[in-house]
Structure 1
Amino acid sequence: MNRRDFMLLTAAVSTVPALGYASVDYTKGLIEKHLAAGDTVYVDFKTDWCSTCRAMARRLDVLREENPAYDKHIVFIDVDFDRWGGSSLTKKWNVPSRSTHLVLKGDQELGRVYAKSSARAIGGLLDIALEAATATS
């Protein structure tokens, strides 16, 4: 490939939006709104500076990419623990620290992972969420 072709290809690729699995950033009342609507919610309590949080997020992204059913059926919400750590949200769900992932449905916590970035831990939590989201009553 010559330099001109490389530059054109690079420019074309840079205009394509980054593929990724977006989560919604938490705002007050957002989780309650989704739970009231009957959604299954996967909540990631994290901070930008936490290396464990980043490792957990990377694993979560890979697993979501491998199984599109997760994004089809589960609502993913990121909670900035630095901002919301002392709020009624963290008190209600007993979240004492960042690096915590929860699965919620209705008024129940269905599962929790704390400071574990393994595929087994996070994948298991995703599977709990998917099962709850797709269960027929």
Structure 2
Amino acid sequence: MNRRAFLATLPAATLLPRLGLAAPIPYAPGLINERLDAGETLFVDFYAPWCGTCIVQHRVMDKLKAENPAYEQKITFIEVDWDSWKRSELTAALNVPRRSTLIAIGPDRREIGRIVAGTSRDEIKALFDAALAAASA
């Protein structure tokens, strides 16, 4: 396959269903507060479907979720489409600088941690583990 054809199909690959994994919840106004009020631990993913870094992050996150089902059992995953919400109150309130930002928020409404444009498996796993610890506390 030539490079141009590969690059043309890359964004479409992100539209394929993530087999065997629960779909993240698409963001809607009020969703974050609703879930935090319910005592949930959140993992908020600011992504764009065309973003190469986001695609890599999703690949890493999907592998981690497949390896440890507790992540999906105890953490609520929310996807915030950057193209729709980049100038929203949520983005401003959380001080999100760009797409490919991952933020874990505990049930006490405190930020557990964040990754901005990072794709390291170890870094993402550490954030997952911190969110899981907060969810299990």
* TM-score, with length taken from structure 1: 0.83
The runs of at least 4 aligned residues of structure 1 exceeding 2 Å deviation read: 17-21
Alignment-derived partner of residue 123 in structure 1: 125
Unaligned runs of 5+ in 2: 1-17
Contact 2:114 2:127 in 1 (8 A): yes
> Which residue of 2 is the match for residue 41 of structure 1?
42
Calculate percent identity across the aligned residue pairs.
45
Compute the TM-score of the two structures, normalised by the length of structure 2: 0.83
Q: Could you say what the CA RMSD is over the residues aligned between the two structures, in angstroms?
A: 1.2
* Secondary structure of the corresponding residue to residue 70 of structure 1: helix
**Residue 107 of structure 1: aligned partner:** 109
Q: Report the Cα offset of residue 107 of structure 1.
A: 2.2
Bigger Rg, structure 1 or 2:
1
- Total equivalences in the alignment: 119
Q: Distance in 2 between matches of 1:52 and 1:123?
A: 16
| C-alpha distance in structure 2 between counterparts of 1:18 and 1:64, whole Å | 11
AA of the residue aligned to 1:133:
A
Residues 11-57 of structure 1 deviation map (CA, whole Å, 9 limit, x = unaligned): xxxxxx94234101111111111111110000000001100000001
**Letter in structure 2 aligned against 1:110:** I
Letter in 2 for 1:45: F
What is the Cα deviation at residue 59 of structure 1?
Answer: 0.2
8 Å Cα contact 1:21/1:64 also seen in 2: no
Alignment of 1:1-137 (within 5 A): 18-105=19-106, 106-135=108-137
Q: Which runs of 5+ in 1 are unaligned?
A: 1-16
> In 2, distance between residues paired with 1:118 and 1:18?
22
Secondary structure of the 2:98 match is coil
Using the TM superposition, give the Cα deviation of residue 116 of structure 1 relative to its aligned residue in structure 2, in angstroms: 1.0
Q: Which amino acid aligns with 1:109?
A: E
C-alpha distance in 2 between matches for 1:75 and 1:56: 17
Q: Is the 8 A contact 1:42 1:101 kept in 2?
A: yes
- The match for 2:10 is none
| Aligned residue number for residue 6 of structure 1 | none
**Distance in 2, Cα, partners of 1:117 & 1:46:** 13
Whether contact under 8 Å (1:21, 1:65) holds in the other structure is no
